[in-house]
Amino acid sequence: MTSTGSILVVDDDPAICVVVGEALRRQGHKVKTASSIRERSALIDSFAPDVLITDVMLPDGDGLEGVADILDRKPGLSVIILSAQNTLNTAIRATEKGAFEYLPKPFDLNELSRAVGDALGMNKAEEGKQEDAGLPHDGLPLVGRSPAMQEVYRTIARVLSNDLSILVLGESGTGKELVAEAIHGLGQRRTKPFVAINMAAIPRELIEAELFGYEKGAFTGANVRTAGKFEQAQGGTLFLDEIGDMPMEAQTRLLRVLQSGEVTTVGGSKPVRVNVRIIAATNKDLPKLIDENRFRQDLYYRLNVVPISLPALRERREDVILLAKHFLERAAQEGLPRKTLADDAAQLLMAYHWPGNVRELQNLMQRLAVLSRENVIAAEVLRNSLPLDLVPSDYTAPADQLGLAVREWAKRQLGIGIGQPNRNLHDDMLAVVEPILLQETLASVDGNQIRAAGLLGINRNTLRKKLTDYGLDPLQLRVSD
């Protein structure tokens, strides 16, 4: 049995309230939202939530203040803290106030869903009820906490309450259909059908019959009247995938349907009124196709009311490990062996350029869940599963990979340092990292110490002392002409 409860979501960003609220409602929870401490206080008493999800930075004060008092009054309440101030101090404060969980922004919605499930499971256990704490983690079928994906989430939140046409843009494998499913599943048409059609997968001569349906006897093999995708999606959402591959003659008829709201079947004469939301998607450059007279400009404007651009996976590398773990967990839930990633394997995943995007990563994780003999997937296993050009020559390691490098360095030093209690690992690490940071910063500003100090967030005298301590000559750190 699934544990559901009442959830109060407090955030001054309306997009977060909409997306989180709708996702949790879809899982069966009762949800109310608030945007301030004042509103939060009123709803704590009147709504009596099982779980409070609250931001730290609220318009009328610090969201952490008052949490301890709330828990004193409501001992059965679980508090999940959200914060864009991703600092150790914020995490410590959240723990000290008695928070059940702390999630830094940008957060992943599935991660928040798991935290809510854990919180409700704890509450039910305290009440003596034997219920499964797990929740369905499909509140939003998208995973990612990168800034690019957060912008996608915000756009999704803005279109849930209207029926504007949407054009989803992105390379193959980035998850365009998942965006369409999310908009439908969280929106006001979610109780009606979601129908998808891929224009590139249908022979040109059959596209109109597939979209608009056909009458008995309209062509050879048409033995009965068959409803098209528009009629099948009545009241719901029609997803037109790979719209850039639609032939011009079909584009003309599609435009007419979008303008009139009526479809006429192939071989028919009586129009049928349809009410559907249109979401289209493509990996093609539609403006270029328009210039080449291969796509109608008026249809483009009709479809592109709200554009959503999905980033390639190589442009959101900070999401790679999160996605990989998500796919491994999903594989385990589907009955495949449970696997985890070793740190060296995670480094390789971060370095790979992912030409097949999220779909390629998902397929790889499923394959490794089946074929990997060990429970922990190591780098050597990945080397045998990925193409030889694993790391592009122009690849620059992101901050996540720096963190992995620091972790490996610390592990090695701690292993070496056993039995040497007087070692100063903090200073040892600074001696490795800080000179590189100083050198690169000074080089970027042609040796200008005032500008370098500003970029580093330190004063000029401190910078001079550090240069002296490390034996660095600023005159030699200028970019040559």
* Domain of residue 181, residue span: 147-309
Question: Per-residue pLDDT for 453 more than 60?
Answer: yes
What does the angle CA 247 – CA 253 – CA 259 come to, to the nearest 5 degrees?
130
For helices 176-186 and 14-26, angle between their N-to-C axes, nearest 10 degrees: 80
Residue 166 lies in a domain: yes
**Phi, psi (deg, nearest 5) at residue 269:** -130, -15
**Cα atoms found within 13 Å of the Cα of residue 108, Cβ hemisphere only:** 19
Q: Could you say which of 279, 309, 339 is where a domain stops? A: 309
- Residue 307: cis peptide before it, omega within 30 degrees of 0: no
- Which range among 27-41, 324-338, 374-388, 421-435 shows the weakest confidence by mean pLDDT? 421-435
Residue 131 lies in a domain: no
Q: What is the CATH number of the domain that holds 371?
A: 1.10.8.60
Task: Select from 372, 360, 305 the least CA-distant residue to 327.
Answer: 360
CA distance linking residue 64 with residue 61, whole number of Å: 9
Residue type, 122: M
**How would residue 396 be classed by pLDDT, with cut points 50, 70 and 90?**
very low
What are the b/e assignments for 273-306, b being 16+ CB within 10 Å?
A: ebebbbbbbbbeebeebbeeebbbeebbebbeeb
Per DSSP, the three-state class of 323 is helix
8 Å CB contact between 256 and 143: no
For residue range 337-348, what is the model confidence (pLDDT) as tens digits?
A: 999 999 888 888
Residue 133 lies in a domain: no
Tokens of 189: 């048409």
What are the b/e assignments for 95-122, b being 16+ CB within 10 Å?
A: eebebbbbbebbbbbbbbbbbbbbbbbb
Give the pLDDT score at 426: 78
Q: How far is CA 105 from CA 42, 91, 150, 269, in A?
A: 25, 12, 9, 55
What percent of the chain has pLDDT above 90? 40
Is residue 159 located within the same domain as residue 290?
Answer: yes
CA distance linking residue 400 with residue 139, whole number of Å: 27
Residue 138 lies in a domain: no
Query: How many structural domains compose the chain?
Result: 4
**Residue range 319-326: mean pLDDT, rounded:** 90
Is residue 323 located within the same domain as residue 336?
Answer: yes
**How would residue 93 be classed by pLDDT, with cut points 50, 70 and 90?**
confident
CA distance linking residue 218 with residue 53, whole number of Å: 57
Q: What is the CATH number of the domain that holds 215?
A: 3.40.50.300
Is residue 183 located within the same domain as residue 278?
Answer: yes
What average pLDDT is seen over the chain? 83
Question: Per-residue pLDDT for 104 more than 80?
Answer: no
Give the pLDDT score at 88: 47
Regarding predicted confidence, which is higher, 194 or 144? 194
Give the pLDDT score at 110: 77
Is residue 398 located within the same domain as residue 349?
Answer: yes
Is residue 58 located within the same domain as residue 102?
Answer: yes
Is residue 412 located within the same domain as residue 441?
Answer: no
Region label for 355, one of left (φ > 0), alpha (ψ between -120 and 50) or beta (otherwise): alpha
- Residue 474: cis peptide before it, omega within 30 degrees of 0: no
Question: Per-residue pLDDT for 121 more than 70?
Answer: yes
Give the pLDDT score at 466: 86
Residue 162 lies in a domain: yes
Q: Which residue has the tokens 């750190």?
A: 477
User: H/E element holding 54?
Assistant: strand 51-55
Residue type, 190: R
Is residue 99 located within the same domain as residue 236?
Answer: no
**Residue range 75-79: mean pLDDT, rounded:** 89
Residue 277 lies in a domain: yes
Give the pLDDT score at 358: 94
Tokens of 461: 């005298």
Q: Could you say which of 423, 442, 465 is where a domain stops? A: 423
Question: Per-residue pLDDT for 130 more than 60?
Answer: no
**How would residue 431 be classed by pLDDT, with cut points 50, 70 and 90?**
confident
Q: What is the CATH number of the domain that holds 438?
A: 1.10.10.60
CA distance linking residue 256 with residue 279, whole number of Å: 16
8 Å CB contact between 104 and 83: yes
Give the pLDDT score at 414: 65
Q: Could you say which of 270, 285, 309 is where a domain stops? A: 309
For residue range 22-54, what is the model confidence (pLDDT) as tens digits?
A: 889 888 899 999 999 999 999 998 999 999 999
Give the pLDDT score at 297: 97
Is residue 417 located within the same domain as residue 429?
Answer: no
As beta bridge partners, residue 377 has 341
Regarding predicted confidence, which is higher, 22 or 432? 22
Residue type, 288: K
**How would residue 480 be classed by pLDDT, with cut points 50, 70 and 90?**
very low
User: H/E element holding 263?
Assistant: strand 262-263
Residue 451 lies in a domain: yes
Question: Per-residue pLDDT for 195 more than 90?
Answer: yes
Give the pLDDT score at 392: 45
Q: Which residue has the tokens 């034997």?
A: 130
Is residue 263 located within the same domain as residue 157?
Answer: yes
- Which range among 90-99, 159-168, 307-316, 420-429 shows the weakest confidence by mean pLDDT? 420-429
Is residue 293 located within the same domain as residue 171?
Answer: yes
Regarding predicted confidence, which is higher, 152 or 478? 152
For residue range 135-191, what is the model confidence (pLDDT) as tens digits?
A: 233 445 678 878 788 788 878 878 888 899 999 999 999 999 999 998 998 888 989
Which segments of 278-356 does DSSP mark as H helices, in order? Answer: 286-291, 297-303, 320-333, 343-351
Residue 140 lies in a domain: no
What percent of the chain has pLDDT above 70? 84
Q: What is the CATH number of the domain that holds 27?
A: 3.40.50.2300
CA distance linking residue 440 with residue 474, whole number of Å: 11
Give the pLDDT score at 68: 86
Residue type, 330: R
Give the pLDDT score at 134: 28
Is residue 296 located within the same domain as residue 323?
Answer: no
Q: Which residue has the tokens 């097949």?
A: 356
Is residue 283 located within the same domain as residue 325?
Answer: no
Give the pLDDT score at 133: 28
Q: Which residue has the tokens 């493509």?
A: 282
For residue range 222-269, what is the model confidence (pLDDT) as tens digits?
A: 888 889 999 999 999 999 999 999 999 999 999 999 999 999 998 888
Per DSSP, the three-state class of 329 is helix
**How would residue 477 be classed by pLDDT, with cut points 50, 70 and 90?**
low
CA distance linking residue 332 with residue 420, whole number of Å: 42
